[in-house]
Chains A and B, each alone.
Chain A
Amino acid sequence: MTSRLLIPPTYLPHSRRRALATGGAVLSAAAVALLGGREALAAKASGGAAEADVRILNTALGAELEAVAAYQVGAESGLLGKPALAVALQFQGHHKEHASALEATVRKLGGKPVAAKAKYAFPVEKLKSETDVLRFAAGLEKGAVSAYLGAVPLFAERELAKVAASILGDEAMHWAVLRQVLGEDPVPSAFVS
C-alpha cells in the first residue's frame, strides 16, 4: 500500500528528527511571531469579551490536543508506511505548535488552559489499514477547518481572529495533502465551510 502513495516530495519533512523537533512543547518561531509582543492583549482584554475569547481558545486547544493524540494513535498503529508516517508526524508537530500557542494565549489572557485528556475515544476498531488511518485524519482536519472558520468571526480581539485564521490555513493544507494521498481531489471546492 505504501508504494501507491502519491506524496509530493516537498510535502515530506526533511527528516523524522526534524518532524519530531517541530513537535516540541516550545513555541516555534512562527508561533512566537504570532503571539510575541502581544502583552497588549492582556491589557486590552476585559470582562465578558475576554472571557468569551478564552472560551473559544480553550475549545480550540482541546481539539488540538485531541488531534495530537489522534496522530499518535495513527503513528503507533503500525498501519502507516514510512512516507505516510513522516507526514503524520509532521502534522502532529503542527498541532502541538497550535496547542502551545493557544495555551500560551489563554494564560496571557488570564484564563486556565484545558489539559489533554487522560484517554480519548477514537474509533480504533475501525482503523484496519493505512487508508483508514489517513481518512480518519482527513476527517478531523476538515472538521478543524470548519471549527476555526466558525471561530474566527467570534473573537472580540481581532488579533486572535488573525491567529485562528493562520491555524485554519495550516489545517486546510493538512486536509488537502491527506486527500491527495488518498487519491481524492485535494482541493474539492473554491470555498470551505
Chain B
Amino acid sequence: MTAADPREVGTQLRPGLWHTINERYPGSMIRNESFVPQARLRKPLGASRLTLVSSCGVHLKTDQPLDVCHPFGEFRFMRVPSRAKHDDLIIHQLKYPHDDADLDINVIFPIERLQELVEEGRLGGLTPNFFSFIGYNMDPEKFERTVAEGIAEAVVEEERADCALLAPA
C-alpha cells in the first residue's frame, strides 16, 4: 500500500521534520520543557501595532547581504522597513526553497498584505521596522543571546510593538 500523498490529503508535507533536524544537527534546536505562556492582546487589533518577524532571510537590496556561507550560522538580524515593497527586497537564505518568494515576497513575508490591512483599519498600525534573520545555525545558545534577544529587545524598546506575527521559514 502506498502512503497517501500529503498534498492531496492536507497533512504536513514533510513529515518527521523534528526528528530529521535532531538527527542531522544534534543540539541545534532550542527546546522548551513547558509551553510558553500566552500573552493576551491588551487592545483590539484595530488599535494595535503589529510587527513581523521571520527567519526567511529577507532584507533591503541595499543592505549588506546576510552571510549564507557561514559554517556555524549568521548571528546578525536585519531590520526591514515596514513600508518596503516587493521590489525593494531580496532574500539571502539557502535553507528553504524561496524561488516563489523571489517572485512575490508576500509568500513568506506578507509585508504588502499587512500594509493593506492597516489601510483598511483592520490593524492599528505596523512597527516602523520588521525583522528577519537566517534560522539555520549550529549554536542555539549564541543564537538566543544575539538574534532572539536582540530582536525581542528592539521589538519592545524601539518599535513599541503590541503584538507579533512570526513566520519561521
**A and B part of one assembly:** no
A→B interface (CB under 8 Å)? none
